[in-house]
Amino acid sequence: MGDGRRCRILLVAVLVFGSLGAFAAEESSIPAVVFPTAPVIDGVLDDEVWETAATVEGFIQFQPEFGAPSPFRTVVLVGYTSEALYVAFRCFDSDPGRIAAAVTSRDGNLRDDDSVTVLLDTNLDRRTAYYFATNSLGVQLDGKVANNGRTVDDKWDATWISASARTSEGWTAEFEIPFRMLRFESGEDVSWGVNFRRRVPRRLETSLWSGPGESIWRVSEFEVLTSLDVRSQGLKKFAVIPYGLVVAEKDRGVDTKFGGDIRFRISSELSADITVNPDFALIEADVEEINLSRFEHFVPEKRPFFLEGIEMYSQRIRQFYSRRIGDITAGGKMVGGLGGFDLAVLASRADLYSEEVDGTVSSTAADYTVLRVQRGVFGPSTIGLLAANRRVEGENVGSIGADMTLFFTDTLGMTGQLVRSHGPTNDGTLGWFLRPAFDSANSHFHVRYTSLDAGLQENMNVIGFLRDDDRREWDANIEHTFWFNKGVFEKIKGDVNYNRYTGQEGVLRSEETNAEFRFVFSSRWEVELEYVDEFRLEEIEFDNSIASVKVGYDNRAGRSIFVSYGTGTNFGSDLKLAAFELQYRLSKAWELSYELTWLELDPDPEMESTWIHVLRSSYYFTNDLFVSLFVQTNSVISKENVQLLGVWRFKPPFGSLQLAYQRGTSEFGEPSEQGDTLFTKLSWVF
């Protein structure tokens, strides 16, 4: 019996029998309270409507003392109108002078700030959720959760309002979350899953109202907000977002560009977006990084058109990699729910290449299509299908596959995937894996087996991302975090991973062991030790290894400094790798970060030794009026990239005026010929 047939039998057996034991969480409820009028969102809870709101408290720690009551009292107030959901927090703190508030940029990482989060499972599917977070400055962070917390996407943006205020007893926060920003089943008596979270960084504490589960994102642990009357009166049916761009580059003259988006809601659960001639020129450039492997480097997506719904495409065998698609001329997508299924459809056209014949320039276009369908089974578990295809001059290349995320208990689960590619390579086009795992609040263990045929990558990588194929691979990982209530340490985390793969013919290609230990001291100093030992068979056998140490200090209030150094061997060369990281909050409105990476290889036949500098700085006049600076250099490719950007979001997040100066912008790992360039871009929302 072949690998492909065995895999299909295993997938069906695990799906049918294993999920029958999936847990059903006990739940309590909050009755929804209708507000006669909307409160003023100013961070001060003095509106009379808050006196009638549903009230909950009694937060439980996720960390550092799992399951213990939080020593910081938190009270949450909830109500709604026909247009929006309103949530308020009273965050009590016996030492309000130590409340951390460093982040001033929208969608900034609030890990080191005192913050609160609202999580909403608007379909009550126990798998997916929206989250909305703010700190004591009222800065916003939002995103989506999928696969019962296994996938978290912070690239999703919505229009909502938040405000915070300091008090003698701590701080308070208010949220206004418009229903038109959410997808849900409309009706007169609707229930949503809901949870609330608070972060107190000086104690490394994360606490939740409902739970704590085995993950801070575990949607199946949410409580229920009941009796919502959410019919269609709060839903905006469509929005038109046109833009105009003027570009002036030194020695190349002035150019103009126009385009726009049309966004419309097909139903309360399903929305669509059509874009024509989108512009991505003002997106921050890809950050240069060191790649010590011989495999392709994965570059994250930053273009807004591809970000919404991106959590639906997250897979281990990545069938869809949006960076394969260049500058698109037109595209459309549909994201949401339909008939009990989660649905994401994307179609776009891009010029693949151009050529000039007898003075005439002609372009060859590629059409990209991606279909993702997912359905919940047995509570929080899911099964799904994904098809991805590129069509050029009548030839179709891509893949189709099925995947599953199963939860048997609170801690035991399994993921798996089966993929077959199509295209010019007809032999060896199957790939699959199975990964049973144990996950708790402080521990993780998994074993995974993966099989990738020798012809899978050539077809898949036209629209997907697969670093390598021709593998039969085993890997195992174990990690644990130890928490300490007092003494020298706050926590110690250990992580050990073993990986081994042969070719499909049985020849050993790689064997790697990776051990990492992180020590966080009560003084807020940190030490991280890592050792990697790898055997690789390429044109000859290589024994690669690197030992590294990282030391730093983080005051958890916007200022940190880390230094690391590693040494070893890499594909026959002696290796030295050093890095320096600095984050410094100059004021409440001004942030600065700097990263330096140095690599030296000896000998260096491919000329890979380099210095990489990355500088970022932002100054926020308000949350929607700011200036940012991005500078990076990479000596090995003589790359010098500068972007100075001023943004006024007069109708956030899409209605904006942007003024920018750029030089040296290019793709990751590529030198740039862009000269001094000025941009003016206006986007409007109707």
Domain shared by 352 and 406, yes or no: yes
116 in a domain, yes or no?
A: yes
The b-or-e profile of 602-617 (16+ CB within 10 A means b, else e) is eeeeeebbbebbbbbb
Please give the full DSSP string across 454-493, using - where no structure is assigned: TTHHHHHTTTSB-S--SEEEEEEEEEEEEE-SSSSEEEEE
Domain shared by 185 and 139, yes or no: yes
| Strand residues in 201-338 grouped as ranges (E) | 205-208, 223-230, 238-249, 253-265, 270-276, 328-338
Q: How far apart are CA 631 and CA 344, in angstroms?
A: 36
Domain shared by 97 and 214, yes or no: yes
Our CA angle for 301, 307, 308, nearest 5°, is 170
Q: Which residues pair with 583 in a beta bridge?
A: 560, 593
Picking from 407, 436, 468, the residue at the C-terminal end of a domain is 468
Contacts of 235 (CB under 8 A, 6+ apart): 179, 180, 186, 265, 268
> Is the distance from CB of 425 to CB of 455 less than 8 angstroms?
yes
Q: Please give the DSSP secondary-structure letter assigned to residue 589.
A: S
**Burial of residue 60 (number of CB atoms within 10 Å: 0-12, 13-18, 19+):** middle
**Beta 270-276 vs 328-338: how paired, if at all?**
antiparallel
Token duo for residue 643: 């972007």
Tell the residue number behind the tokens 């009550």, with chain if given. Answer: 124
The predicted structure's pLDDT at residue 10: 43
| Nearest residue to 623 via CA among 111, 101, 164, 105 | 105
479 in a domain, yes or no?
A: no
6 in a domain, yes or no?
A: yes
Domain shared by 20 and 68, yes or no: no
Contacts of 1 (CB under 8 A, 6+ apart): none
The predicted structure's pLDDT at residue 6: 45
Q: How far apart are CA 525 and CA 556, in angstroms?
A: 11
Q: Which domain holds residue 102?
A: 32-234
Q: Helix (H, G, I), strand (E, B), or coil: what is residue 159? A: coil
Domain shared by 230 and 321, yes or no: no
The predicted structure's pLDDT at residue 1: 45
97 in a domain, yes or no?
A: yes
Domain shared by 361 and 230, yes or no: no
The predicted structure's pLDDT at residue 198: 98
Tell the residue number behind the tokens 């996720």, with chain if given. Answer: 62
Residues of the chain with pLDDT under 50: 1, 3-4, 6-25
Domain shared by 62 and 206, yes or no: yes
The predicted structure's pLDDT at residue 290: 94
Helix (H) / strand (E) element for 193: namely: strand 187-200
Domain shared by 7 and 81, yes or no: no
Picking from 402, 433, 468, the residue at the C-terminal end of a domain is 468
Picking from 198, 216, 234, the residue at the C-terminal end of a domain is 234
- Tens digits of residue pLDDT in 84-101: 999 999 999 999 999 999
| Nearest residue to 226 via CA among 54, 342, 35, 380 | 54
Q: Please give the DSSP secondary-structure letter assigned to residue 20.
A: G
The b-or-e profile of 550-570 (16+ CB within 10 A means b, else e) is bebebbbbbbbebebebebeb
| Nearest residue to 151 via CA among 480, 372, 323 | 372
The predicted structure's pLDDT at residue 357: 59
542 in a domain, yes or no?
A: no
420 in a domain, yes or no?
A: yes
Domain shared by 219 and 311, yes or no: no
Q: Tell me, what CATH number does 42's domain have?
A: 2.60.40.1190
3-state DSSP helix/strand/coil percent for the chain, to nearest 5? 10, 55, 35
Q: What is the pTM assigned to this prediction?
A: 0.88
Domain shared by 324 and 364, yes or no: yes
Q: How far apart are CA 330 and CA 370, in angstroms?
A: 15
Phi/psi for 52 (5° steps) reads -100, 0
Q: How far apart are CA 7 and CA 417, in angstroms?
A: 9
Q: How far apart are CA 98 and CA 117, in angstroms?
A: 20
- Tens digits of residue pLDDT in 284-318: 889 999 999 999 999 999 888 998 888 889 999 99
Helix (H) / strand (E) element for 5: namely: helix 3-13
186 in a domain, yes or no?
A: yes
CA 344 vs CA 53, 283, 397, 415, 670: distances in Å: 36, 24, 20, 20, 32
Domain shared by 308 and 393, yes or no: yes
> Is the distance from CB of 270 to CB of 336 less than 8 angstroms?
yes
Q: How far apart are CA 352 and CA 136, in angstroms?
A: 47
The predicted structure's pLDDT at residue 232: 64
Domain shared by 357 and 388, yes or no: yes
The predicted structure's pLDDT at residue 354: 66
Q: Please give the DSSP secondary-structure letter assigned to residue 34.
A: B
Show the DSSP H helices in 234-362 as ranges.
304-307
Our CA angle for 637, 641, 643, nearest 5°, is 170
Domains contained in the chain, number: 2
**HSE-CB for 565 with a 13 A CA cutoff:** 0
> Is the distance from CB of 157 to CB of 305 less than 8 angstroms?
no
Q: How far apart are CA 298 and CA 401, in angstroms?
A: 21
Please give the full DSSP string across 198-221, using - where no structure is assigned: EEEGGGTEEEESS---SSTT-GGG
4 in a domain, yes or no?
A: yes
